[in-house]
Amino acid sequence: MSLGKRATAEFFGTFWLVLGGCGSAVLAAAYPHLGIGFAGVALAFGLTLLTMAYTIGHISGCHINPAVSVGLAVSGRFRWADVPAYVIAQVLGAIAASGVLFIIASGKAGFDVHAGFASDGYGMHSPDGYSLLSCLVCEVVMTFFFLLIILGSTHERAPKGFAPIAIGLGLTLIHLISIPVTNTSVNPARSTGPAIFAGGWALHQLWLFWLAPILGAALAGLVHHALFERTTPEPLIAGDAR
């Protein structure tokens, strides 16, 4: 599959992730009396990733996240030369989805994009007021384990066909833990799209949501490659005729 086609798949995959996940936060999380709340938003992010993994996983690998592309490259599972095209497509997909979400959300009287628009933040812009250090640690650790889930579930020795389920549920769990802390990024593209429309503080704090996820993903790539990748042939099982 050509790099152009794979990057296009990443554009649409990231579009769906941001529209589904951030859309649920903006449109449905606090809906009067019947809002889906944090649990619903967490599930929405997990479902978008799960559905896209089955839809474009066989085309592009369904990274739909710059941190994932970097982490896979660090682990040796992805070509560094392809990372820029993937990241550009992912960011453009996130911005396009945020634009669509803005058009939808602004159709309601009283909508204020500067109130947050599902943007990630720290300090006074953290949903529950967590400090910069808390948010940094949270994003690094959550992305670290997210990449471990991805690398482990997609390994050649892992059960086939179940990786999207593990990865989607993993992202759901990450959101259940960290929405009160940062509003959950673990994905620089997901953070960039809403921040561009929210402007102000969201753009000023965006640096953290590039640095922390990429750092966590890179660490996971190094750890998985060093500890869990096969470096020597496994011993033969008794009776194995290989």
| Listed residue (131, 152, 135) closest to 211, CA to CA | 135
- Decide if 170 is inside a domain: yes
- Decide if 129 is inside a domain: yes
Task: Read off the CATH number of the domain in which 119 is found.
Answer: 1.20.1080.10
pLDDT of residue 46: 97
pLDDT of residue 231: 54
Contacts of 76 by beta carbon, 8 Å cutoff, 6+ apart: 221, 225, 229
Between residues 207 and 236, the one the model is more confident about? 207
DSSP state of 27: I
pLDDT digits (tens, 9 = 90+) for 55-106: 999 999 999 999 999 999 999 999 999 999 999 999 999 999 999 999 999 9
- Decide if 237 is inside a domain: no
- Decide if 241 is inside a domain: no
Residue range of the domain that includes 86: 3-227
Q: How many domains does the chain have?
A: 1
Kindly report the pTM of this predicted structure: 0.92
- Position 236 pLDDT exceeds 90: no
pLDDT of residue 32: 77
- Decide if 142 is inside a domain: yes
Q: Which amino acid is at 217?
A: A
